[in-house]
Amino acid sequence: MDFVISEELRMIQSTLRKLVDQDIRPRLAGLDPDAIELPEKDKQQLREKVKKLGMQAMGAPLEYGGGGVGTLGLCLAAEELAKHRLGSYRPTLGAFCGHFAGEAPGNLLFCNAEQRERYLLPVIRLEKESCFALTEPDAGTDTANIRTSAVREGDHWILNGEKRFITGGDAADFAMVFAVTDKKLKAKGGITCFLVDKETPGFKMARLIPVIRPWYPAELVFTDCVVPAENVLGEVGQGFEMIQAWLGQNRMLYSANVVGTADESLKLAVDYANVRQTFGQPLSSRQAIQWMIADSAVELYAARLLVYSCAWKMENKVGGDLRMEVSMVKLFATEMVGRVVDRAIQVHGGMGVTKELPLERWYREPRIKRIGEGTSEIHRQVISRGIIRGFYPYNPFEKVS
Ligand SMILES: Cc1cc2nc3c(=O)[nH]c(=O)nc-3n(C[C@H](O)[C@H](O)[C@H](O)COP(=O)(O)OP(=O)(O)OC[C@H]3O[C@@H](n4cnc5c(N)ncnc54)[C@H](O)[C@@H]3O)c2cc1C
């Protein structure tokens, strides 16, 4: 078993660590504690820097101008890029550095040659933004139950329906919209993905939905929205398959991001415990504080190992079907971060809940991660089903030859 991170990946890690320390953190001083983006000038400078470093669109394929970095490298990147106030949700990678650590959304790799020029490449070059529109008022976890319909009329499709909680739906130049094209087949070949430009008549960004994080998702409404047939992404009926194809990597990046948040929270707690004195002694000399630090360190280590080992398997295509392992990673990591941030706040006392530190923000934002990319309940269901029905070994390393 080899747990050594390659020189190449260490370079990515240390370059991004430096970027966060030297180029992102100093720009955050003086910014509103709930800001979701840097001022345009700073963003532009950062993008230039990232380009110079050759780290733009790291996860996109080399032939399209990306970095071609695999899952483990992207996870290390997502972890490093989480370590600042605005870093606790993955899309800040986009906001800061361009679609940076593999942010050219995986589904867009289904673009045909013509669509690639209009959608995928402009996203990789930061000229366009996209959003992923699947969830609806009556279909979240139960994605197969979506009702947005698409009916073929000549060389067009007519879309009708409503999408809810769409991240980036307000800023996107186009949306990847999932709609039912065959009511009988639904998830078994009856759902199709459409590329819908924001200026298409009948496409409306109805409102932003205030949520626990300062970056609000949008509600999108489609009313007799006419979409050209050439805007079908992939094949008609391939929508559900497309979602499944990219879930794994997305969930890994999500999990790596919370490892970064937890790492930084623990660091803040340790630093504070070493300097803060009560009753003439540093907090770090008290067993109550030491135990909180120990518990967080163990949980963080476990989450990190889960992320790294599963990312390595995914990248090297070993271990067969990794769906259940990805569920374990996502479940454990996204629940772990809440406990670690909570303890870090406790170690800081009153300071922990002020906006002078990022902890109160990190107490709120990662909460969404137990809901997005599959809820904790659904991941528990996937894991327990596999174990109870006997098609998943208790020791996943038995699957690795
Ligand atoms: C801030 C934010 C951003 C988002 N961004 C996007 C986006 O960009 N694009 C997009 O398409 N969607 C997005 N979503 C939607 C997100 O994916 C859904 O909220 C999520 O899938 C859960 O669906 P739901 O909210 O309808 O909850 P429901 O499906 O109604 O579930 C409610 C509760 O019941 C549980 N539950 C449901 N079914 C079962 C079951 N069979 N057994 C046991 N428990 C069950 C769930 O785990 C949950 O605890 C976003 C959501 C939020 C909050």
Q: 328: pLDDT confidence band, cut at 50, 70 and 90?
A: very high
Mapped to the 3 state alphabet, what secondary structure does 49-77 carry? HHHHCCCCCCCCCHHHCCCCCCHHHHHHH
Most confident range, picked from 67-76, 94-103, 378-387, 392-401: 378-387
Domain identity same for 305 and 268? yes
Residue 133 to residue 200: CA distance in whole angstroms:
15
Residue 378 to residue 127: CA distance in whole angstroms:
36
Atom of ligand 1 nearest to the CA of 141: 29
Domain identity same for 212 and 138? yes
Domain identity same for 384 and 252? yes
Residues 178-184, mean pLDDT to the nearest whole number? 97
Is 373 an annotated catalytic residue? Answer: yes
Q: What integer pLDDT is reported at residue 96 of this predicted model? A: 43
Q: What integer pLDDT is reported at residue 89 of this predicted model? A: 63
For residue 54, the domain's CATH number is 1.10.540.10
Name the residue type at position 167.
T
Answer yes or no: is the C-beta of 222 below 6 A from any ligand 1 atom.
Answer: no
Domain identity same for 21 and 88? yes
Closest-CA residue, ligand 1 atom 41, reads 378
Residue 270 to residue 304: CA distance in whole angstroms:
19
Question: Mutation test of ligand 1: which of 135, 162, 174, 222 has the most ligand atoms closer than 8 Å to its C-beta?
Answer: 135
Residue 259 and residue 251 in contact, taking contact as beta carbons nearer than 8 Å: no
Distance 75 CA to ligand 1 centre (A): 24
For residue 159, is it within any domain?
A: yes
Residue 333 and residue 269 in contact, taking contact as beta carbons nearer than 8 Å: no
Per DSSP (E only), the strands in 234-324 are 277-278, 281-282
The whole model's pTM is what?
A: 0.95
> 313: which DSSP letter?
H
Q: 97: pLDDT confidence band, cut at 50, 70 and 90?
A: very low
Distance 178 CA to ligand 1 centre (A): 16
- Least Cα distance to 314 among 240, 381, 385, 251 occurs for 251
Name the residue type at position 303.
A
Answer yes or no: is the C-beta of 378 below 6 A from any ligand 1 atom.
Answer: yes
Q: What integer pLDDT is reported at residue 95 of this predicted model? A: 41
For residue 138, the domain's CATH number is 2.40.110.10
Q: 57: pLDDT confidence band, cut at 50, 70 and 90?
A: confident
Domain identity same for 267 and 388? yes
Closest-CA residue, ligand 1 atom 4, reads 165
SS3 assignment, position 392:
coil
Whether the per-residue pLDDT at 100 is higher than 70: the answer is no
- As given in the structure block, the two tokens for residue 293 are 């630090």
Domain identity same for 182 and 202? yes
Domain identity same for 164 and 222? yes
> Of 122-131, 215-224, 349-358, 373-382, which gets the smallest average pLDDT?
122-131
Domain identity same for 201 and 251? no
Q: 103: pLDDT confidence band, cut at 50, 70 and 90?
A: low
> 321: which DSSP letter?
-
SS3 assignment, position 320:
coil
Residues 263-278, mean pLDDT to the nearest whole number? 98
For residue 303, is it within any domain?
A: yes
Question: Per the residue annotation, which of 315, 373, 377, 398 is the catalytic one?
Answer: 373
CA angle 159, 163, 165 (to 5 degrees): 160
- As given in the structure block, the two tokens for residue 325 are 């392992």
Q: Across the chain, which distance is largest between two alpha carbons, in Å?
A: 80
For residue 1, is it within any domain?
A: no
Domain identity same for 102 and 145? no
> 136: which DSSP letter?
B
Residues 386-392, mean pLDDT to the nearest whole number? 89
Last residue of a domain, one of 173, 201, 233: 233
Last residue of a domain, one of 233, 248, 280: 233
Q: 397: pLDDT confidence band, cut at 50, 70 and 90?
A: confident
For residue 291, is it within any domain?
A: yes
Q: For residue 195, what are the domain limits? A: 130-233
Distance 370 CA to ligand 1 centre (A): 9
Q: What integer pLDDT is reported at residue 45 of this predicted model? A: 87
Closest-CA residue, ligand 1 atom 40, reads 378
For residue 351, the domain's CATH number is 1.20.140.10
Domain identity same for 106 and 153? no
Closest-CA residue, ligand 1 atom 12, reads 135
Distance 255 CA to ligand 1 centre (A): 17
Residue 64 to residue 175: CA distance in whole angstroms:
20
Q: What integer pLDDT is reported at residue 129 of this predicted model? A: 87
For residue 122, is it within any domain?
A: no
Domain identity same for 315 and 364? yes
Closest-CA residue, ligand 1 atom 17, reads 372
Residues 120-141, mean pLDDT to the nearest whole number? 91
Atom of ligand 1 nearest to the CA of 378: 47
Domain identity same for 85 and 65? yes
Distance 72 CA to ligand 1 centre (A): 27
For residue 120, is it within any domain?
A: no
H-run or E-run covering 195:
strand 191-197
- Looking at the structure of the chain, the number of domains it has is 3
